[in-house]
Amino acid sequence: MVAGKNHTGQGGLRILVTGGAGFIGSHLVDRLLAMGHSVICLDNLLTGQRGSFAHLAQHPRFDFRLHDVTEPVQLDVDQIYNLACPASPIHYQYNPVQTVRTAVLGAINMLDLAKSTGARIFQASTSEIYGDPLVHPQPEGYWGNVNPIGPRACYDEGKRCAETLFFDYRRQFGLSIRVARLFNTYGPRMHREDGRVVSDFIVRALAGEPLVIHGDGQQTRSFCYVDDTVEAILRLMQVPDDDIGPVNLGNPAEETILGLAERVLRQTGSRSSIRHEPRREDDPIQRQPDIALARAKLDWLPETDLETGLARTIAYFKVA
């Protein structure tokens, strides 16, 4: 492996988080600062929000820099967390070519930075690399069922290519890499208009608008609260096994979209109706992570049940 720096996860590291103004990235930045690290946040604010780090404006160990990861950057860092990429269908389909550029060129630029500094590097991949899966639940060894030319391919294939690059850089240059496939993370600081199902249902319910379900609502997802996701990411970066493959990080508790809508209506006390519209192209029928690897290697299980996580998320959107 590349002659690296302190990978123990102890305080005092200089850490780069790309996409740090985004939903998951901002929570990760908070945790890293609380651990005593210094954090540089790179974000072009295309989908990230300044409000996500407003509380850190005077923090002595936080440094925000407006930057697009499709452009190279030179920094002296010990660890890199690469989370920069639009992650909701509305955002990544708005400019699909830019989405691919961010996923692929962003990965190359961050890998080159890791190569020059000896930093351990984390890639936020996605359950979308499994496409509309024919295997259920989805283990890391499943290669997926992805439409390479469909409307979701810019994100699905962009992330698949990023994974390829990470493992090729490890094989060719000996980089210390970590790759996590994240499953439907939700929680406070989600973008109000990103179209992801949890935030969309909550915003509509609070406004008294119909909750829109595409299809019959029997399609499933597995929702993981953001604090649990961030904890797993941190554990993955600290584990000493440099030969660990991609790791699924998500809550294996499966929920139908219709069931989620009914939960949101009940918890918000909303009288909104539920409206069904045609199913979106290439929308997966079922999604559930096999997290046996995360349990074995990271000693990790999600702790926040959906009822509790939704209550916290609803409370955020009531005042956001």
Active-site annotation, residues: 155
CA separation for the pair 131, 151 (Å, rounded): 12
- β-strand pairing of 254-256 with 220-222: antiparallel
Residue 193 to residue 246: CA distance in whole angstroms: 30
Q: DSSP class of residue 131?
A: B
Compute CA distances 201 → 86, 104, 263, 276, 280, whole Å: 20, 31, 10, 13, 17
What three-state secondary structure class fits 38?
Answer: strand
**Nearby residues of 16 by Cβ (< 8 Å), 6 or more positions away:** 39, 40, 42, 75, 77, 79, 80, 81, 110, 113, 119
Bridge partner list, 42? 18, 65
Look up residue 257 and give its two tokens: 């979209």
List the alpha helices (DSSP H) in the chain.
23-34, 89-94, 96-117, 153-173, 197-207, 226-238, 257-268, 292-298, 306-319
Q: SS3 of 124, please?
A: strand
Could you give the CA distance from residue 18 to residue 129 in angstroms, rounded to a whole number?
Answer: 20
Residue 43 to residue 55: CA distance in whole angstroms: 16
Tell me phi and psi for residue 185, to 5 degrees: -80, 145
